[in-house]
Amino acid sequence: MSLEEAQRQLEAAIHDARVSFDCIALDDLERSHTNAITARAAVDAAEYAIRVALEERRKAEEAEESEEAKGAGG
């Protein structure tokens, strides 16, 4: 998963949350509930994508630091 996917998921979450909000005003609680659930799922997916990206970045930084240390020691 990429950061672009995280952005897409967050946009979907915003949309679903707005629909859920509007459905409350229309007294359509079932549809509001469904959209609240899908908004939560989209936020969870975005959080996962961001977490994976952070872990990949951390590993890349550690590898870079390791290479720099090897270069400085040699």
Predicted TM-score of the model (pTM): 0.81
pLDDT of residue 74: 58
Nearest alpha carbon to residue 41 among 72, 16, 73: 16
pLDDT of residue 48: 97
pLDDT of residue 1: 66
Q: Taking a C-beta distance cutoff of 8 angstroms, is the pair 14, 38 a contact?
A: no
Q: Which residues of the chain have pLDDT under 50?
A: none
pLDDT of residue 8: 97
pLDDT of residue 72: 82
Tally of domains in the chain = 1
